[in-house]
Amino acid sequence: MKLAALSILIMALVLTPLASGEDPSGGWLGKAISFYSNESYDLALLYVNKSLDIDPAYPDAWNLKGYILSDLGRFGEALICFNRSLEIDPQDPYIWYSKGFVLYGMGIDEEAMEAYDRAIELNSSDPDLWRARGLALYSLGRYDEAVDSYDEALVLDPAEGEVWYQKGLALLGMRSYDKALECYDLAIIIDEEDAASWHGKGFTLYSLGRVEEAIDCYDRAIDIDPSITDVWYNKGIALGSLGRHEEAFECYDAAVEIDPQYHPAWFNKGLALYSLGRAEEAIACYDRAIDIDPNLVAVWNNKGNALYTLDRFEEALECYRRAVEIDPDYSNAWYNLGVVLHRLGRGEDALEAYDRLIEIDPSRQDVWYNRGLALYSLGRYDEAAACYDHVLEMDPGDGEVWYNKGLALGRLGRFEEALGCYDEALKADPEQPDVMNNRCNTLYALGRYNDSVGCYDEVIGIDLGYENAWYNRGVALYKLERYQEAATSYGEAIALNGSRIDAWHGMGEALASAGRYDEAVESYDGAIALDPGDPTVWYNRGLLLYNASRLEEAVESYDEVIELDPSYEGVWKLKGLALYDLGRFEEAIDCYDEALEISPSDVSLWYNKGGLLFGLGRYDEAIECYDRVIEIDRYEKGDALYLLGRYDEAIECYDKVIEVSPLEAKAWYQKGLAHQILGEYERSAECYDRVFELDPSYEGVSLKRGLVLLKLGDYDGALASYDLALQEDSRDLEAARGRGEALLGLERFEEAVASFDRILANASEDGGAWHGRGQALAGLQRYDEAIESYDRAIAINTSEKILWIGRGAVLEEAGRSGDAVASYDRAVALDQEDPEAWSVRGRALTKAGRLEDAASSYDRAIALDPSSAEAWRGKGTVFEAQGLAEEAIECFDAALAANPADAEAWRLKGQVLEGLGRKGEALESYERASEADPSSAEAWKKKGDLLSGMKRYSEALDSYATAAEIDPTDGAVLRSRGSILQSLGRLEEAVESYDRALAIDPGDADLWYIRGTALDGLQRHEEAIESYDRALAINPGDARSWNRKGDAFYKLGQHRKAVECYDKFIELSSG
């Protein structure tokens, strides 16, 4: 600003007219200007103050003082001077300009811009004023307005290269790179030696992705002025982007040599060294940057990255923590903090870091992914899977995420879902051996062993050297009892990695199972050669040798186990058995004594020792051993009685155990089994509940409890028990079937179908599952599919009577009574002594209209079981259909004698009595029916109909209300209710009842007509007309509706329309 200030001041002195004689204040000002031009600011300030002492209203003196103070960096004082000058002369544009300059220097850009605006108002022809205004706007980030100001300056002086340069900067701010490039080119044309413009051009080309050209421009700027740090710095960035890190490093080196305090260059020098793999040197550079400014978060973060690369995790941790202390929202540091904490095994702390980052930016896929990995490492697989779901919502095609989700679901036992995840991962890349191998493992976990073998074959086809696939293939083949192939597969794994003890071990087991004992021993020897200190391999080798009757060698193997681990479970017992078979009885007894020291409660040890002692004639000692057996196993007598089928006595034994040890889960469990077999399900359930209280994980209790609760009709409880059983063993088919049956009981048919489908996916020949599936489909009224399911079940077991009965019931529901009879015929052919089969056959024959055959079928059922209420009731329906009312009543009475709570028999009896006009008795029968089964809508409806016919309307309405509450879809009940209400003059309620009925069956023309009459009664004639129109739309020949519609028009005064309706009525009536 100094040159501009001098020119302004000298101009002012020249133009200022003098009065007579010399102006003393002006003389002091002249001296001040002279000292100012020589940069003698203190003297200049002294003389300008003398000038102001003489003339405090001398504006030029205030201006000069402002310039001096501004150059001394004392902007606040300078601003006071310019303000004082403007008080004296507010029309001087250059004082406004000077004020703007000071404000700009103070960073008060808005006010600076206002000062420049005022200067331009006073003198719009000075390009410097426009330029200064542009600078202020640029600082405010108002780049488009800055460009406009620079354009005004360039109109006045297009050859001013500095303005072209500054306009280029503003255009860069607007990301208008092409226009910025034009500006720098023009600036360079004006002055080819302008290093700043070459620098700006380079930066612009870099922003356009023209990196090589950018480097050329930076080189040109350096040639002109090699001391500009920013140029070296930006050249380094450009070279780094091309991967030329060594050259980039040299540029940053040059920058810090020029200015050792230039921390961005130290930082980027560190980045370049890090990219070159020189992490230690990079850390030193980051430290220099931190020394200059300890609050540089990016530097702390990258120093942490370098330390992480060197496995200096704790130090890296401190760097990331320092970064987030400085800037709590710095996401990269939170991310890296989570990564290093996870690496250090501090999963919970890693989660906190990831959670903090999610608060900052919930859209970062990598954070959700790493959070999932951390949760997985903590065993929180459900939550891990949920994290992976977040990532997949953002990127459904990320195969790696699908893979990791599959791993998490596999850990949860949700193998079907895991399989789907692996399939999705393979869509992204079909040839990923790790993904394929885990897919194969999942098929194995689902019990689909053949499929898993085929899958491992595919992995091996992609990568013949994938040893895990060979090993796992061996495991699956072993499970399929294809022992020879399993041994070969283990052999391939060993060929790839001879140090795999598990493969040597597996091959030994497979060869042993294939009867190739000598080779199996060699395999175990191979495992022992790798780790002779593994007692398990010696133990298994001993078992093999024992089974091969190589007893002496077996004893040697057991001795090796004992030497390695004298307390190894089972080894003393097996050595004892081998010695016994060798006839070395005393040594065998010694072994049993050693075993009993380890497991004094093992009944089999005492029993075997007793047998040996007995054989040696040491009877007293033998008796002591047998006494110990009885003392230890208090359940022995109860279990024996249970096995003999003497369940009541077994329960007494278990009760005695419970008296002594009421917290003994096993006794409660065994007692529950006995009650269950006796059909005492409530007592059985109580026992199993007690087991649950004592030990919720007791093996088998969830399954047994589910079964008895199912028998008791507690379907919710049964479902919960079966779910627990499946958590314990997801492949338990009995639990899976039970779960489906519980869902059937709850009428959750869709879920039941899905449950049975899951069973059939792994066990397609499970007849019980096909049966359950058929029942569920029938509940959904998907009869054809239900019949297909029954047919599949029957194909598996054609002699299962219940399947033929179930199939017949579905055919009945589907309205195919004749086909149902054929199914029931198959059932009775399988068991001609089953009254139920004969009864259901009679029912189907009745529906098919074959009444004589139906009666014979029911008679056969009654002959087999005279107390069969179902058969008597069925026979009664046949007599009713034949018009033999009294005989029908006798049959219903016989049914009720067998089962007084048979609601259907009461209802049917009432129906026949009502037909005979015996209304009082009929009413009593309906009342007994509704008492026996309060949920029978049909009983309440029949009672309502009868009461209505007896004109006991209030009671009839109550009955209809109950029927409608039980079955809100029965339109006939609502219609009958409406008729009574209408007859009682309760027309609003009647209309409401008709509306509910019509919502169920909008095609009932008669009900639309009746509704219209009720609306007429309410004087709502327009609505009545609409109701008649609906009736006529369904049945245009309904004369009644035309007549009542005419009446309604007449009452509305629309006589012409009324006549038209009456004409139609007459036409239809006369026809």
> Could you report the per-residue pLDDT of 917-933, keeping only the tens digit for each?
999 998 998 899 899 99
Separation CA 338–CA 366 (nearest Å): 11
Instruction: Give exposure, 207-241, as e/b (b: 16+ Cβ within 10 Å).
Output: eeebbebbbebbebbbebeeebbbbbbbbbbbbbe
User: In the structure, what pLDDT confidence band is assigned to residue 631 with cuts at 50, 70 and 90?
Assistant: low
Tokens of 613: 């002692």
Mean pLDDT, range 684-692, rounded to an integer: 90
More confident call, 24 vs 224? 224
pLDDT bracket for residue 636 (50, 70, 90)? low
- Residue 632 confidence (pLDDT): 67
pLDDT at residue 606 greater than cutoff 70:
yes
Residue 446 has pLDDT above 50, yes or no: yes
Q: Over the stretch 91-134, which tens digit does the pLDDT of each residue have?
A: 878 788 778 788 877 878 788 888 888 888 888 888 888 887 88
pLDDT band at 184 (very low <50, low <70, confident <90, very high): very high
Res. 641 pLDDT band, cuts 50 70 90: low
Which are the contacts of 152, defined by CB distance < 8 A and separation ≥ 6? 124, 127, 130
Distances (CA, A) of 533 to 433, 538, 564, 726: 33, 9, 7, 39
Whole-number mean pLDDT of the chain?
88
Cα separation, 905 vs 910, in Å, equals 9
In this prediction, residue 14 carries a pLDDT of 35
* Res. 26 pLDDT band, cuts 50 70 90: low
Its sign, for the CA torsion 557, 559, 561, 563, is negative
CATH 1.25.40.10 is the classification of domain 230-290? yes
Instruction: Determine the distance from the C-alpha atom of residue 837 to the mean position of all C-alpha atoms in its chain, rounded to a whole number.
Output: 49
Distance between CA atoms of 8 and 18, rounded to whole angstroms?
18
The answer, yes or no, to whether residue 702 has pLDDT greater than 80, is: yes
pLDDT band for 15, please (50, 70, 90 cuts): very low
Question: Minimal CA–CA distance to 745: which of 715, 776, 780?
Answer: 715
Low-confidence winner among 140-144, 339-343, 520-524, 1029-1033 (lowest mean pLDDT): 140-144
Tell me which amino acid residue 114 is: E
- Residue 1060: band (very low, low, confident or very high) from pLDDT cuts 50, 70, 90: very high
Q: Each residue of 348-374: b (16+ CB within 10 Å) or e?
A: ebbbebbebbbeeeeebeebbbbbbbb
Q: How far is CA 473 from CA 247, 462, 465, in A?
A: 53, 15, 13
pLDDT tens digits, 743-776: 999 999 999 999 889 888 877 878 889 999 999 9
User: Six-digit token pair at 869?
Assistant: 């209420």
Tokens of 69: 């103070």
Task: Report the share of the chain in percent with pLDDT over 90.
Answer: 59
Q: 175-225: which CATH number, 1.25.40.10, 1.20.120.430, 3.90.960.10, 3.30.750.24?
A: 1.25.40.10
Identify the helix (H) or strand (E) that includes residue 906. Answer: helix 903-915
For residue 372, pLDDT beyond 50: yes
Least confident segment among 42-51, 423-432, 518-527, 871-880: 42-51
Mean pLDDT over 162-172 rounds to 91
pLDDT of residue 934: 92
CB 225 within 8 A of CB 258: no
* Angstrom distance (rounded) from CA 673 to CA 681: 10
Q: What's 621's DSSP letter?
A: H
* CB-CB contact of 320 with 333 (8 Å): yes
pLDDT, residue 3, reads 42
Which of 236, 174, 184 lies closest to 205, judged by CA? 184
Determine the average pLDDT of the residues in 453-472. 94
Q: How many residues does the chain have?
A: 1071
Q: What percent of the chain has pLDDT over 70?
A: 96
Helix, strand, or coil (residue 723) = helix
Tell me the C-alpha distance between 1006 and 1040, whole Å: 10
Window from 194-198, 551-555, 650-654 with minimum mean pLDDT = 650-654
pLDDT recorded at residue 327:
93
> Given the structure tokens 């010399």, which residue do they identify?
22
Residues of the chain with CATH 1.25.40.10: 175-225, 230-290
962: left (phi over 0), alpha (psi -120 to 50) or beta: alpha
H helices of 58-108, where?
Answer: 59-71, 75-88, 93-105
Q: What's the rounded Cα separation, in Å, for the pair 128 and 657?
A: 108
User: What was the pLDDT predicted at 11?
Assistant: 40
Q: What is the mean pLDDT of residues 822-834?
A: 91
Amino acid identity of residue 537, one-letter, is V
Asked if pLDDT for residue 1068 goes beyond 60, the answer is yes
How do residues 613-625 score in pLDDT, each as one tens digit? 888 888 888 778 7
Greatest alpha-carbon span in the chain: 156
Give the residue among 715, 724, 725, 722 at the shortest CA–CA distance from 748.
715
Mean per-residue pLDDT, 941-954: 90
Q: How far is CA 773 from CA 142, 567, 809, in A?
A: 72, 52, 14
CA-closest candidate to residue 859, choices 844, 850, 872: 872
In the 8-state DSSP scheme, what is residue 931? H
Q: Is 183 exposed, middle or buried (0-12, 13-18, 19+ CB in 10 A)?
A: buried
pLDDT at 8 (0 to 100)? 45
pLDDT confidence of residue 1057: 93
What pLDDT band is residue 727 in, cutting at 50, 70 and 90? confident
Could you report the per-residue pLDDT of 551-582, keeping only the tens digit for each?
Answer: 999 999 999 999 999 999 889 999 989 998 99
Write down the pLDDT at residue 489.
95
Q: For position 633, what pLDDT does the model report?
A: 62
In this predicted structure, what is the pLDDT of residue 245? 92
Residue 34: the pLDDT is 76
Give CA–CA dist 302/332, Å, rounded.
10
pLDDT category of residue 356 using cuts at 50, 70 and 90: very high
Q: How confident is the model at residue 9 (pLDDT cuts 50, 70, 90)?
A: very low
Task: Kindly report, residue by residue over 245-301, the tens digit of the pLDDT.
Answer: 999 999 999 999 999 999 999 999 999 999 999 999 999 999 999 999 999 999 999
What pLDDT is stored for residue 695 in this prediction?
A: 86
Between CA 747 and CA 688 the distance in angstroms is: 26
